[in-house]
Amino acid sequence: DEALSWCRKAATLRPEDPKYGYTYAYFLDRKGDATKAIPVLRGIVDRSLPYPPAYALLGTIYEKQGKGDEARKVYRKAADNAEIPDPERARFREKAQSMGK
């Protein structure tokens, strides 16, 4: 699909701007390709880019896949990222804590 192609191109050309990677991953997930969305989101999260929607989507995908431990790690990483605004960090911390361990 053409829109997905444009999203992929933008994400590839501007990897330092997480909104493009997030948008590409979002549409992959909506299309049912969560397995393709995960590496795109991991790229954002693993570089600790301060883009909360990417952490939230990756955590949600992991939860839907029954990978609670992975989701919790993503939420904790977001909660520990000092570049993310405090209110959002608090929400991620609460989410991780509500999942146990």
pLDDT in tens, 43-69: 999 998 999 999 999 999 999 999 999
pLDDT in tens, 90-101: 999 999 999 976
The candidate with the shortest Cα–Cα distance to 49, out of 14, 99, 83, is 83
CATH, domain range 2-98: 1.25.40.10
Say which residues have a Cβ less than 8 Å from residue 88's Cβ, sequence separation at least 6.
52, 78
Domain assignments of the chain as residue spans, ordered by start: 2-98
